[in-house]
Structure 1
Amino acid sequence: MGFSVLAMLALFNLFSSEFGFLQLGFSLGINYGQVANNLPAPEQVLMLLSSLKISNTRIYDTNPQVLAAFANTNVDVIVTVPNEVVAQLRDPRQALQWVATNVKPYFPATKITGIAVGNEVFTSEDAALMSSLAPAMASIHAALVQFGLDSSIHVSSANSLAVLETSYPPSSGSLKPELVAVMAPFLQFLAATKSPFWINAYPYFAYKDDPATIPLDYVLSNPNTGMEDPYTRLRYDNMLYAQVDAAIFAITRLGYGGVEVRVSETGWPSKGDADEIGASAENARIYNRNLLLRQMGNEGTPLMPHKRLEIYLFALFNEDLKPGPTSERNYGLYHPDGTMAYNLGSAALPSSSSSFSSSPSSASVTLASSATTTSTELRKEFGSFWSWRILIFSLTIQALITKAF
């Protein structure tokens, strides 16, 4: 069936309007974890990100195949120093060698914009690792200065929200007393280098631990009455923003109010064990859908309403080799084989067929115009299976955006 004029205009708006998918690409980052035995090649992942117009990603290592594949693209990449390597990089010579080996050969062709030194170090219960973090970051930064890369690549470390002693209400946010001394050099480094304070913030965990008290709509960012901070009188309609503002208050109390707080991870599992209350495909769909819409609106938190909150969604893929409860392996938007873990848009949109038809009022869309061109190029390079998966997911989110606006 051919497109009507209205349908053609709608498709054009999906691709080009200020409310369209292109804006999403400049708002949201995504974590590209690789703890799985059947993931697609980095070149295929790049095509997926390009199709989705996502231009920011974070990897949990310095995988040379990924860094080489992402060269000469518009994708900004944050790389990671594994926790087990952090102590070695206290030595400036080791740090210089690490940068020379893992960063310099790829930059600037690959747009490496950040280095995450370790992950959730201050909740690792490893005292040696915690004390090594700030010196290692300083050594890496000094190496970047030596190579002339410090103005392009910032250095930080992602923190579990468990570093907070208090997070409710947000204005009472404070660090755990036992972490204040060990985190002080870290915060001093961030302030001196104008680097961000990254937090891994998961409202899901709060809901799972206390579903009887915490409203599900509040953690999913659905419409709800929210809560008012009794001290600031700021109103919060979702827990993620409250968690971010609690982190801002916590570091401000220590004199580091000028350090920007960003979300290095947030997401919701689509599957969990029997005791993992709330882990479901429907809740994951709602949480990530609402997150996408808020990012499209360039929202800030109630405390910082005029500054867009930078967020990295966790994650691009389910990772079948991760240890722990079932939820740990089910945060992805995609299964590794290219099928969607759940449909972010309307359930009426097909997820496994390469044939679509509809009218403007339907959630399904016909492949036409620039969409057809994209699918043809993808099929030529990587074959029809992944090509259709990429295109379908792109069109799914476009359908979501159309419905929202």
Structure 2
Amino acid sequence: MHAFICLPSPKMPRKPSSCSSAPTPTPLPIVPAMALHLMLAAAAAFAVLAPPAASSGPTPAPPALGINYGQVADNLPPPQAALLLLRALNATRVKLYDADARVLRAFAGSGVDFTVGVPDRLVPRMATDPSAAASWVRSNLLPHLPATSITAVTVGNEVLSGTNAAMLRSLLPAMESLHAALAACNLTSRVSVTTAHSLAVLSSSFPPSSAAFRREVVPYMAPLLGFLARTGAPFLVNAYPYFAYKADPDRVDLGYALFEANSAGVADAATGLRYDNMLHAMVDAARAAICRANYGKALEIRVSETGWPSQGDDDEAGATPENAARYNGNLMRLVAQGKGTPAAPGEPLQVYVFALFNEDQKPGPASERHYGLFKPDGTPAYDVGVKAPTITLPKGNGSSGSGNNGTGGLVVAQGPGGADGVGPGTGYYTVSAAAMNKVKSRRRRCMESLVAAAAVLAMVSGPC
């Protein structure tokens, strides 16, 4: 018997992230740069235009590139610059660790879907005071909807990997309070409530089919999984093959960690599935653990963080620009192809790359400050095939902007390879800009039709 036992009922529509075994996938092919760009552009168009399926909660996301937009830094450009860089990447999903109003205002009408965050420090109060959750929704979500698309809220980050008993007990009640606040505003069909987990919640992760949650985590995780299943929210996992390679570079195959096609890969003897990259093995380990703890019920799994540092301390093996480019470049190809994991090959994996910028104020080893695809001045940290627009920030304006949604002195170079997306270069930004321009006009027409309905809902929803 296969260890992956979660199977959809034959009488029900197929659920995301089923746990049935699957044939060995074919090796990841090398995709020409222009073909990759076109696939990403098509994915962006599909993400905006695809009709939603009937569901009691937010629908599973189609394949599209997501980026984590962290701001633990004192030298970042204003959000308007971040928007240009995200368009150059053709990223249509962004995850914040808070609900920064400045960022959400700057992205109004952009067609970008946001996941915003409730900081850890607010979790205990939300757990015990439902009015705190309602106040947070009124202050952080309602001012931006529907102009800015907000599709999910994460409550805390990696809470169940910690040892704070009060936080562990508070997590699910806080999520329930927030969901109730969204329900009062008629937003639960558009905004899901979830939380992100590190792989430290697992007692083991290899082979993937044997994975299980740590015994001390199960009392908190099992009801949380029930909440996600009931509300249609995804399970978020932060998965970093880099950490595994850094911990044991002599035994962990670098090619396996970097999605290299010539990697021999590893097999799961219990299922017969072969893994040609470590990220897929990590995701399927989380899938197996969910199946065990959730009484065989499947959930959609999203990779809420993954990435590779371009620089590190002397004892941080593999933290180089070359390896970062290989990891994230191959990851973007995987997203563009819409492939799933060996245990769920028909379910495209939603991934958020960590991170948009290098963040100079992050504590810890040097690698923590060098996960960015871009440096704070907007130049690429390494080459992933993106022709980014040139950004000039006059000294003194920094990331605080100039107020009133201004650019804070932002100057974007036009012309070949610039923000207008014309001229020579990789062709990436040109295709990306064309795709975004086509879908934004359609999205705008759709959003205009929703504004009146949203206004009516706001008037009749009481606390909203």
Measured against the shorter chain, the TM-score band is 0.7 to 0.9
Match of 1:80 among 117, 128, 131: 117
Superposed CA RMSD in Å reads: 2.8
Who is 1:246 aligned against?
Answer: 285
Contact 1:22 1:53 in 2 (8 A): no
Who is 1:362 aligned against?
Answer: none
Match of 1:56 among 66, 86, 93: 93
Q: How does 1:69-218 map to 2 (within 5 A)?
A: 69-90=106-127, 91-218=129-256
Q: Which amino acid aligns with 2:411?
A: G
Who is 2:380 aligned against?
Answer: 340
Change (3 A) 1:397 1:336: farther
Who is 2:57 aligned against?
Answer: none
Contact 1:14 1:20 in 2 (8 A): no
Q: Unaligned regions of 5+ residues in structure 2, if any? A: 1-32, 48-63, 392-406, 432-464
Change (3 A) 1:166 1:53: same
Contact 1:164 1:176 in 2 (8 A): yes
Equivalents in 2 of 1:15, 1:101: separation in Å? 43
Q: Which amino acid aligns with 1:144?
A: L
Equivalents in 2 of 1:268, 1:115: separation in Å? 25
Who is 1:317 aligned against?
Answer: 357
**How far does residue 14 in structure 1 lie from its aligned partner after superposition?**
4.5
Q: Which amino acid aligns with 2:299?
A: V
Contact 2:379 2:390 in 1 (8 A): yes
**How far does residue 30 in structure 1 lie from its aligned partner after superposition?**
0.4
Contact 1:262 1:311 in 2 (8 A): yes
Question: How far does the alpha carbon of each residue in 1:153-193 deviate from its partner, in whole angstroms, 9 at most, with x for none?
Answer: 00000000111111000000111111111222211211111
Task: Determine if the alignment matches structure 1 residue 67 to structure 2 residue 97.
Answer: no
**How far does residue 275 in structure 1 lie from its aligned partner after superposition?**
1.0
Q: What SS does the corresponding residue of 2:246 show, helix, strand or coil?
A: helix
Contact 1:82 1:118 in 2 (8 A): yes
Match of 2:411 among 383, 393, 404: 383
Who is 2:43 aligned against?
Answer: 23
Q: Which has the higher contact order (CA 8 A, sep 6+)?
A: 2
Q: What SS does the corresponding residue of 2:179 show, helix, strand or coil?
A: helix
Change (3 A) 1:251 1:100: same
Q: What SS does the corresponding residue of 1:205 show, helix, strand or coil?
A: helix
Task: Determine if the alignment matches structure 1 residue 234 to structure 2 residue 273.
Answer: yes
Equivalents in 1 of 2:144, 2:388: separation in Å? 39
**How far does residue 108 in structure 1 lie from its aligned partner after superposition?**
1.1
Match of 1:270 among 304, 310, 326: 310
Match of 1:279 among 319, 329, 336: 319
Match of 2:330 among 276, 290, 293: 290
**How far does residue 384 in structure 1 lie from its aligned partner after superposition?**
3.9
- Give the structure-1-normalised TM-score: 0.83
Contact 2:380 2:388 in 1 (8 A): no
Change (3 A) 1:287 1:184: same
Question: How far does the alpha carbon of each residue in 1:243-276 deviate from its partner, in whole angstroms, 9 at most, with x for none?
Answer: 0000000010112532111100000000001111
Match of 1:36 among 73, 79, 90: 73
**How far does residue 50 in structure 1 lie from its aligned partner after superposition?**
2.6
Contact 1:78 1:115 in 2 (8 A): yes
Change (3 A) 1:20 1:130: closer
**How far does residue 71 in structure 1 lie from its aligned partner after superposition?**
1.1
Task: Determine if the alignment matches structure 1 residue 328 to structure 2 residue 368.
Answer: yes
Q: Which amino acid aligns with 1:244?
A: V
Equivalents in 2 of 1:124, 1:17: separation in Å? 40
Q: Which amino acid aligns with 2:378?
A: G
Report which stretch shifted further, 52-61 or 144-153.
52-61
**How far does residue 43 in structure 1 lie from its aligned partner after superposition?**
1.5
Change (3 A) 1:100 1:171: same
Q: Unaligned regions of 5+ residues in structure 1, if any? A: 1-12, 354-378
Q: What SS does the corresponding residue of 2:114 show, helix, strand or coil?
A: strand
Equivalents in 1 of 2:75, 2:37: separation in Å? 36
Q: Which amino acid aligns with 2:214?
A: K
Match of 2:428 among 377, 398, 401: 398
Equivalents in 2 of 1:156, 1:350: separation in Å? 32
Task: Determine if the alignment matches structure 1 residue 46 to structure 2 residue 83.
Answer: yes
- Give the structure-2-normalised TM-score: 0.73
Normalized per residue, which structure has more helix? 1
User: How many residue pairs get matched?
Assistant: 360
Contact 2:197 2:236 in 1 (8 A): yes
Q: Which amino acid aligns with 2:71?
A: Q
Contact 1:24 1:292 in 2 (8 A): no
Change (3 A) 1:310 1:20: closer
Equivalents in 2 of 1:20, 1:200: separation in Å? 23
**How far does residue 20 in structure 1 lie from its aligned partner after superposition?**
5.7
Q: What SS does the corresponding residue of 2:257 show, helix, strand or coil?
A: helix
